[in-house]
Amino acid sequence: MATRLRWLGHSCLWIESDGIKLLVDPFLTGNPKAVVSAEEVDPDFICVSHGHGDHVGDTIAIAQRTGATVICNYEISQWLEGKNVKAHGMQHGGAFHFPFGRIKLTLAFHGSVLPDGANGGNPCGFHWFFKDGSTVYDAADTGLFGDMALIGEEGVDLALLPIGDNYTMGPEDALRAVKLIRPKMVVPIHFGTFGMIDQDAAAWGRGVAAQTSAIPHILQPGEWVTIRG
Ligand code: NI
Ligand code: MN
């Protein structure tokens, strides 16, 4: 029983839990920080947080090639099924049991229009409850909101928080998010991909270590963090 996560750059995550492979927000083609190509990943499931191009990314090509099921909001699931992609639609606050464990869709304050202009519903984050007991919360693209404390009450071993600012929380609000969620570990994402979202992640990590009980893991794209060994 083990769960580990690899940051693939931007908001793209690779999670392995008891042999099941999840790919999250697979923006690989055109991502200057991506450490793998869309052709070399073989997920069982793909989670898509919202409709923007830097999150939908290569979802269609990867899902069509591998047969992976895409987990996302209902509107995006309908859009994907129209493109011959297997999708499982959910909505905020709803949870479902999958072979790897349970996922609950969380609130996120952001936009979600799809790359072709179609309605992408409302953006979400993901709270995973893996079968080995590991819990992971990916806030995805969002501003700070007080109900992050409710997500924390359900248990978060590892939180993934955007720190890039402009489109999402910046470093100060992401630090406030850590205080609300109270995770055991935190990894910053959605920064450094483009100049507009450059941030000093190491300095942010020092703030987390000084002001909270969470352990910051400041990853380089391609690096892993073990949630349960
Ligand atoms: Ni976005
Ligand atoms: Mn984004």
Residue 135: give its domain's CATH number.
3.60.15.10
The pLDDT assigned to 124 comes to 98
The pLDDT assigned to 229 comes to 87
Mean pLDDT of each 10-residue bin along the chain, 229 residues long = 94 97 98 96 98 98 98 98 98 98 98 98 98 98 98 98 98 98 98 97 98 98 96
Report if residue 39 sits inside a domain: yes
Measured CA to CA in angstroms, residue 229 lies from 23, 100, 128, 132 at distances of 19, 16, 17, 10
Report if residue 221 sits inside a domain: no
User: With contact defined as beta carbons under 8 Å apart, do 178 and 187 qualify?
Assistant: no
The neighbourhood of ligand 1, an ion, using CB within 5 A, equals 52, 141
Report if residue 223 sits inside a domain: no
Report if residue 185 sits inside a domain: no
Report how far ligand 2's centroid is from the alpha carbon of 141 (Å): 6
Report if residue 68 sits inside a domain: yes
- Nearest Cα residue to 56 out of 106, 114, 15, 7: 114
Q: Which two tokens stand for residue 74?
A: 């209902």
Report how far ligand 1's centroid is from the alpha carbon of 7 (Å): 17
Report how far ligand 2's centroid is from the alpha carbon of 209 (Å): 26
Q: Which ligand is nearest to the CA of 191?
A: 2
Report if residue 87 sits inside a domain: yes
Q: Which ligand is nearest to the CA of 124?
A: 1
Report how far ligand 1's centroid is from the alpha carbon of 132 (Å): 31
Report how far ligand 2's centroid is from the alpha carbon of 1 (Å): 32
Report how far ligand 1's centroid is from the alpha carbon of 109 (Å): 10
Phi first, then psi, for residue 177 (nearest 5°) are -65, -40
- Nearest Cα residue to 161 out of 207, 130, 129: 207
Question: What is the DSSP code (8-state) at residue 164?
Answer: -
Question: What is the residue range of 144's domain?
Answer: 3-161
Phi-psi region of 140 (alpha: psi -120 to 50; beta: other; left: phi over 0): left
Report if residue 42 sits inside a domain: yes
Report if residue 218 sits inside a domain: no
pLDDT tens-digit map of 156-180: 999 999 999 999 999 999 999 999 9
Q: How many domains does the chain have?
A: 1
- What residues are paired with 127 via a beta bridge? 104, 137
